[in-house]
A and B are shown apart, each in its own frame.
Chain A
Amino acid sequence: MTSLVQVQEIEKNFPLSGGGNYLALQGIDLQIQKGEFISLIGHSGCGKSTLLNMIAGLDLPTAGTVLLDGETVKRPGPDKMVVFQNYSLLPWLTVRQNISLAVDEVMPAMSRQEREAVIDEHIAMVGLSHAVDKLPLQLSGGMRQRVAIARALAIKPKLLLLDEPFGALDALTRGNLQEKLMQICNEHQLTAVMVTHDVDEAVLLSDRIVMLTNGPGSKIGDILTVDIPRPRKRLEVVHHPSYYSLRSEIIYFLNRQKRVKQWQAKPHKTLARHGLEKVNLDLGFIPLAACAPLAVAEAKGFFSKHGLDEVQLVRETSWRGVTDGLVDTTLDAALMPSGMPTWMTAGGHGGPPLPIVTALTLSRNGNGITLATRIGQQGVSTVAEYRDYLLKTNRESHQLGIVHPASMHNLLLRYWLASNGIDPDHDVHLQTLPPAQMLADLKDGSIDGYCVGEPWNWRAEQEGHGFPIVGDLDIWSGHPGKVLGVREDWALSYPNTHIALTKALLEACRYCADPAHWSELSELLSDRRYLGMKQELIRFGNAGDGNSQESSPHSLFFGPAVNRPSRSEHLWILTQLARWSEIPFPRNYVEILERICAVSVYSTAARELGLDDVSYQRGGIELFDGVAFNADDPISYLNQLSIHKDFCVAEIPLKPARVMMT
């Protein structure tokens, strides 16, 4: 099938009144198939209406072309009819005259009777037969928009263009009109492009949603395919499994755009002070108990103590925000899952490989696997019982939540499932969800369980929605949890800042590790700036309220062999990421590990803090199933694991390390 509309490398410049140009759109490429419904979404001023106008021919691109049915669009015409936001009915003509004006103009070959029939048909289609002789001023906004839609459809355009058609309407009218439009589009196999700022409207109506980045030079940020079957009903689509993930995808995108805009709006000069190259840092984190060292370093003044006067903690809602923040350099450093440095360095995030350096492991353990209470009620209390349960109910789909493909949760959960004879890709389906969303999904039964960091396991148990099936101590006690990650070019540009940051956080880790501080930590983290939840739900130990000094520590923040970045651990992570095809196994893994693990930064920081940096060897890596990991021969290790995807081995082309371009 060839495309009805082809937008090719469009660029649009507007001359500014004070001279110069404003680059509104850049490099827009879009193919629209016949019968497709496309939405354009983005923040105000991102050029979505400009793009629509260029498809309509009301505006011409500065560079590039728009093809409709293979012909270049040079001027507007009735074959690409526009429904404008403010209806654009002529106020001196009645409903019928407004529509007939269009029909008479566009279909002069028809007889008068035929034209009358077309007009009547379309007035009836939008349900306005009772108002044919009214003037637009006598109609409500919704009725006027229906006239505008009838006018557009009456002339049988190849392409229907809608510019925020329901933006000015109240919610009830909007909902009704959306259904009406959807029904008409389905019946007549219309091809349509709609500009909107309403996320739900976009998901409800579209086959594909085109998301535009902020101007100047707006581009297509991403295109989402809406896989909800038609015909759709407004009240039913919300129950489709894809609905909320699509919705949250769009909202994530729009929020990200907003954050980038805010970041660009404020001045961000590099402030050098106290012999440090940069003291104003934006540190990303997501609300988890493991963010304790960051919160403590901020609250207890460890950042300032080591000269970092202007550190700002940036709370992201998902790890994806952290990844994007590092890619577009809006974040200086971030708390990240321990798999993320290798994953991003190998290009797992989808972009070109971006070397990420870690100088500090911030926490170990602190994770667990929770299953929903309703599964426990089916008599499932061990993994073997869960396997039988899956076999019994294999017709249903079983979803398990993970926070990120590169997090230890994913790797531990998969390892645990696979070692127990459950294929994590066939027997269950793993879904990436933000932690806060998991609890809600567990509650409403759309997922079986999840593997996540505290406090989300403890909270599910406390609130009665889930039960712990296995703790991370029983899978791999002492596994790396969260690490500090920075871009390699950042580390090279600000080496002393990197050391100071490592020192501040290492000191904070030491503070967090003392059980005497746990109550205080719970209180600190319950603040809205960090986790924003009840203090009782945040615990660091295993027994009782979790904060008494007698209980055994669950999360490890500090201690011998806790904080030093370990090459063998990152190598194990590489094997697991390759095992599940998140990345190819890098042939140049030695180089990658060398560049990821900034052991020297850690050593300097620890020495300057007066901590014993005795060289030590962590015990070899061996998980609960007793399969030893031989760091000298990772490929054999991979091959010996029973369940795995078809992994490949490939060279990851890394650019040579260099300082940041400013």
Chain B
Amino acid sequence: MVPIPSPRKDSNASPLGWLTRSSSNWLPPLLGTGGFLLLWQLFSMSGVIALPAPSSLFTEERTRTLIFYPFYDRGGLDKGLFWQTLASLSRVAQGYTLAALVGIAVGITIGLKPTINRAFDPLFQFLRMVAPLAWVPIALVLFQKNQPAAIFVIFITAIWPILINTAEGVRQIPQDYRNVALVLQMSSRRFFTKVLIPSALPYIFTGLRISIGLAWLAIIAAEIVMPGTLGIGFFIWDAYQQNYVGEIVLGVIWIGAIGLVLDRLMAALQNYISPGK
């Protein structure tokens, strides 16, 4: 039998055809998320849980305003979610950049010098285990002010994965590459730029990616307990104090979404710089 070219072949090339073919990619997550929201809606409406239903985020006045007008600014702390997020993100950016700089530098040092590594490893392992929230009071005592204290909490939370992964990356430089450098008597500068950094880069990025998530987690914790600061964390705390449960739910969804975007951005950057690793 000779296969007859069917008209469906054209529809395969169209966007609709593509959607149909890739349905195994988008259908399960859509069903999963939709099902979850539907269950939530049902439980809320039947009164099994006290949380407001997802639909109420749009029906309720306060949350609808927040959703549709993220850029409003009524002065003081009463600002749209965009401004709240921006304030949080700028703190994260400062703390995270600092963590990345210090983490990579220290990571390379301890990766290259086993003695220094042995000297500080117990300390690092110990500090790594302290929860972000536990740092908040220490940070407040140290810096006396909210803003630097928040940045410090981000820094101290985000630094460990960067530091430990960088050190591991440096230690994992294959002996062959080290031998090449030794035989060629490479200068330290050239070894650093041509061998060490390219070789350790995948590890460094793994650390950076884990840390961005941690930093975002930490900022919420930090802001919640620092009254009077503009930011998404205090926004949630404030809503809780005033019993606006819908606003809390909205804030949580917003945080999750931002975290997801940050992680994807980092992954894209990692893929761009060291593809396939």
Determine if A84 is an interface residue (Cβ-Cβ < 8 Å). yes
Find the B residue at minimum CB distance from A105.
B184
Question: Is chain B's binding surface mostly helix, strand, loop or mixed?
Answer: helix
Contacts of B174 in A (CB 8 A): 88
Q: Is there contact, CB below 8 Å, between B182 and A76?
A: yes
From known contacts A101-B194, A105-B190, infer whether A90 and B180 are also in contact, taking CB-CB under 8 Å. Answer: yes
Given contacts A58-B179, A76-B185, A78-B183, 10 further A-B contacts (CB under 8 A): A58-B182, A75-B182, A77-B183, A81-B183, A84-B180, A88-B177, A88-B179, A90-B180, A90-B194, A92-B198
Query: How many residues of chain A get a CB closer than 8 Å to chain B's CBs?
Result: 20
Q: Is there contact, CB below 8 Å, between A90 and B198?
A: yes
Determine if A499 is an interface residue (Cβ-Cβ < 8 Å). no
Determine if A102 is an interface residue (Cβ-Cβ < 8 Å). yes
Determine if A93 is an interface residue (Cβ-Cβ < 8 Å). yes
Q: Is there contact, CB below 8 Å, between A84 and B198?
A: no
Q: Is there contact, CB below 8 Å, between A76 and B183?
A: yes
Q: Is there contact, CB below 8 Å, between B184 and A90?
A: no
Closest 6 CB pairs of A and B: A88-B176, A92-B198, A76-B182, A76-B183, A105-B184, A88-B180
Q: Is there contact, CB below 8 Å, between B180 and A56?
A: no
Give A77 to B176 CA distance when docked, in angstroms: 15
Determine if B187 is an interface residue (Cβ-Cβ < 8 Å). yes
Q: Identify which of residues 156-189 in chain B touch chain A, using a CB-to-CB cut-off of 8 Å.
A: 174, 176-177, 179-180, 182-187
Give A136 Cβ to nearest chain B Cβ, in Å: 12
Q: Is there contact, CB below 8 Å, between A105 and B185?
A: yes
A-B pairs under 8 A by CB, number: 47
Determine if B195 is an interface residue (Cβ-Cβ < 8 Å). yes
Give B202 Cβ to nearest chain A Cβ, in Å: 11
Give B194-221 as 1s and 0s: 1 = Cβ < 8 Å from A's Cβ atoms.
1100110000000000000000000000
From known contacts A86-B176, A88-B179, A90-B180, infer whether A78 and B198 are also in contact, taking CB-CB under 8 Å. Answer: no
Q: Is there contact, CB below 8 Å, between B195 and A105?
A: no
Q: Is there contact, CB below 8 Å, between B183 and A56?
A: yes
Find the B residue at minimum CB distance from A93.
B194
Give B213 Cβ to nearest chain A Cβ, in Å: 27
The residue that A58 contacts in the complex, of B177, B183, B187, with Cβ under 8 A, is B183
Q: Identify which of residues 237-275 in chain B touch chain A, using a CB-to-CB cut-off of 8 Å.
A: none
Q: How large is the interface on B (under 10, 10 to 19, 20 to 34, 35 or more residues)?
A: 10 to 19
Q: Is there contact, CB below 8 Å, between B187 and A105?
A: yes
Give A82 to B190 CA distance when docked, in angstroms: 19
Q: Is there contact, CB below 8 Å, between A82 and B184?
A: no
Q: Identify which of residues 69-119 in chain B touch chain A, using a CB-to-CB cut-off of 8 Å.
A: none
Give A102 to B177 CA distance when docked, in angstroms: 12
A residues whose Cβ falls under 8 Å from a Cβ of B: 56, 58, 75-78, 80-82, 84, 86, 88, 90, 92-93, 101-102, 105-106, 155
Give A417 to B238 CA distance when docked, in angstroms: 117
Give A77 to B182 CA distance when docked, in angstroms: 7
Give A58 to B42 CA distance when docked, in angstroms: 71
Give B247 Cβ to nearest chain A Cβ, in Å: 49
Q: Is there contact, CB below 8 Å, between A82 and B183?
A: yes
Give A491 Cβ to nearest chain B Cβ, in Å: 53
Q: Is there contact, CB below 8 Å, between A84 and B179?
A: yes
B residues whose Cβ falls under 8 Å from a Cβ of A: 174, 176-177, 179-180, 182-187, 190, 194-195, 198-199
Give A453 to B9 CA distance when docked, in angstroms: 83
Give A90 to B195 CA distance when docked, in angstroms: 8
From known contacts A90-B195, A92-B198, A93-B194, infer whether A101 and B184 are also in contact, taking CB-CB under 8 Å. Answer: yes
The residue that B186 contacts in the complex, of A75, A81, A105, with Cβ under 8 A, is A105
Contacts of A102 in B (CB 8 A): 184
Give A148 Cβ to nearest chain B Cβ, in Å: 9
Give A82 to B177 CA distance when docked, in angstroms: 12
Give A92 to B182 CA distance when docked, in angstroms: 18
Contacts of B185 in A (CB 8 A): 76-78, 105-106
Give B151 Cβ to nearest chain A Cβ, in Å: 34
Find the A residue at minimum CB distance from B185.
A77
Give A2 to B88 CA distance when docked, in angstroms: 75
Contacts of B180 in A (CB 8 A): 84, 88, 90
Give A116 to B117 CA distance when docked, in angstroms: 41
Find the A residue at minimum CB distance from B176.
A88
Give A406 Cβ to nearest chain B Cβ, in Å: 49
Give A607 Cβ to nearest chain B Cβ, in Å: 70
Contacts of A82 in B (CB 8 A): 179, 183
Contacts of A90 in B (CB 8 A): 177, 180, 194-195, 198
Q: Is there contact, CB below 8 Å, between A106 and B195?
A: no
Give 22 A-B contacts (CB < 8 Å), ordered by A residue: A56-B183, A58-B182, A75-B182, A76-B179, A76-B183, A77-B183, A78-B183, A80-B183, A81-B183, A82-B179, A82-B183, A84-B176, A88-B179, A90-B180, A90-B195, A90-B198, A92-B198, A101-B184, A101-B194, A105-B186, A106-B184, A155-B184
Give A149 Cβ to nearest chain B Cβ, in Å: 14
Contacts of B179 in A (CB 8 A): 58, 76, 82, 84, 88
Give A309 to B169 CA distance when docked, in angstroms: 61
Contacts of B184 in A (CB 8 A): 78, 101-102, 105-106, 155
Find the A residue at minimum CB distance from B201.
A92
Contacts of A81 in B (CB 8 A): 183
Contacts of A101 in B (CB 8 A): 184, 190, 194
Give A88 to B177 CA distance when docked, in angstroms: 6
Find the B residue at minimum CB distance from A155.
B184
Contacts of A86 in B (CB 8 A): 176
Give A134 Cβ to nearest chain B Cβ, in Å: 15
Most A Cβ at <10 Å: residue of B183, B185, B186, B195: B183
Find the B residue at minimum CB distance from A163.
B179
Find the A residue at minimum CB distance from B198.
A92
Contacts of A155 in B (CB 8 A): 184
Contacts of B190 in A (CB 8 A): 101, 105
Give A200 to B180 CA distance when docked, in angstroms: 29
Give A401 Cβ to nearest chain B Cβ, in Å: 49
Give A82 to B187 CA distance when docked, in angstroms: 18
